[in-house]
A and B are shown apart, each in its own frame.
Chain A
Amino acid sequence: MRFKHAKPTVVEADMTPMIDMTFQLIAFFMIVTNFEQTQADERVKLPADRLARPPLAPRELEVVVNVGFDRNADGTKTSDTPAVFYGEERIPVLEYTPRLKREKQMIELQHDKEAVNDATIVIRADGDVPTGLVQELIKMGQEVGFQKFALKAMSDEVP
């Protein structure tokens, strides 16, 4: 019995639409990825407010201070003592002056002595933090030599 031996056919998948889609996805993720928010600490649950608005122009010099509580993955508080989060460190709020002095020195070294007048201390405080501690931070900043302060709040939620 004779069998016909068919030549193997090469099936070429059309990759063009997939590559188009992939590039579109990359472009999308590149645009929405925000590398500037790295100073924000996820443990801080900011109070929400519709009127809080981002600054019209980005600030050249800012010192971000994150004040909050330790929280677990669900967002539940695991500690009742608020602290300033400085990377992995947890610094009591009332002992933050040396860090502010160091920030001031860094600004003076990188720019000039007058640059501190233009620097803004941006306070990202948890909604449950006692207001007095936020005021203490502002007072410490004033004593160190900072003049501008901004308080952060979530801007897209209805409180």
Chain B
Amino acid sequence: MKFRKHQGDAKVDLQMASMIDIVFQLLIFFILTLKIIPPEGDFNINMPTVQKALTGVMIDDPILRIRLEANQDGSLKQLYFGELALGNSAPEAFDQLSAKVGNLVSVQPLVAEELEVEIISDYILNYRHVVAAMSACRGRVTPDGKRVTYLENIKFAPIKRPSEV
């Protein structure tokens, strides 16, 4: 019996040009539509329905009041922890605030669970200072990158419009 001589594998030429065209178009589309947006985080806030009287910080008081006064240009004039003035330099004043809240939480951990922070801010104060104050009350980041949580319940005091002051 005679066998045909086995022919070598025929090379199949694939048409790569069209695929490469499409692939490059996809690549250009994704490059052009890419927007590098830094990750954004949230601060959840509770909003009161009942206005409560403004008083100082007391350990029995379930509300910790942080007051921020503003200059006419919206910059920080004075930061208060209860009635204690902490200055107006950022971030030092906010670091002090964070340390004070940290002390309070470590001394009274059970009270801290129910403690609520009320941010009392002047109407014209730049919003970034309020975020810094909320962050100082929320917790801190340790040098090794861990988050330590102090207080979660944060709310705003009712609005005081400049015309009402």
Partner pick for B128 among A29, A148, A159, CB 8 A cutoff: A159
- Which residues of chain B are within 8 angstroms of A131 by Cβ–Cβ distance? 68, 121-127, 129-130
Given contacts A51-B140, A159-B132, are A25 and B27 in contact (CB under 8 A)? yes
- Which residues of chain A are within 8 angstroms of B126 by Cβ–Cβ distance? 127-131
Instruction: Tell me if B59 is interfacial: C-beta within 8 Å of chain A.
Output: no
Q: Which residue of A lies closest to B49 (CB)?
A: A142
Q: Which residue of B lies closest to A134 (CB)?
A: B127
- Which residues of chain A are within 8 angstroms of B134 by Cβ–Cβ distance? 151
Given contacts A30-B30, A37-B35, are A22 and B131 in contact (CB under 8 A)? no
In B1-56, the 8 Å CB interface with A consists of 16, 19-20, 23-24, 26-27, 30-31, 33-45, 47, 49
Chain A interface category by residue count: 35 or more
The binding surface of chain B is classed by DSSP as: mixed
Given contacts A125-B127, A151-B45, are A132 and B159 in contact (CB under 8 A)? yes
The binding surface of chain A is classed by DSSP as: mixed
The 0/1 profile, CB within 8 Å of A marked 1, for residues 149-164 of chain B is: 0000000100111100
What separation, in Å, do the CA atoms of A148 and B44 have in the docked complex? 8
- Which residues of chain B are within 8 angstroms of A47 by Cβ–Cβ distance? 127-128, 131-132
What separation, in Å, do the CA atoms of A29 and B31 have in the docked complex? 7
The interface stretch among A1-9, A52-60, A95-103, A110-118 is A52-60
The 0/1 profile, CB within 8 Å of A marked 1, for residues 51-74 of chain B is: 000000000000000001000001
Chain B interface category by residue count: 35 or more
Q: Which residue of A lies closest to B157 (CB)?
A: A135
Given contacts A132-B123, A153-B40, are A51 and B138 in contact (CB under 8 A)? yes
Q: Are A22 and B27 interface neighbours, CB within 8 A?
A: yes
- Which residues of chain A are within 8 angstroms of B161 by Cβ–Cβ distance? 132
What separation, in Å, do the CA atoms of A102 and B128 have in the docked complex? 29
Given contacts A52-B135, A54-B41, A127-B128, are A19 and B23 in contact (CB under 8 A)? yes
The 0/1 profile, CB within 8 Å of B marked 1, for residues 123-145 of chain A is: 01111111110111011001000
Instruction: Tell me if B109 is interfacial: C-beta within 8 Å of chain A.
Output: no
Given contacts A128-B128, A155-B40, are A150 and B45 in contact (CB under 8 A)? yes
- Which residues of chain B are within 8 angstroms of A53 by Cβ–Cβ distance? 41-42, 147
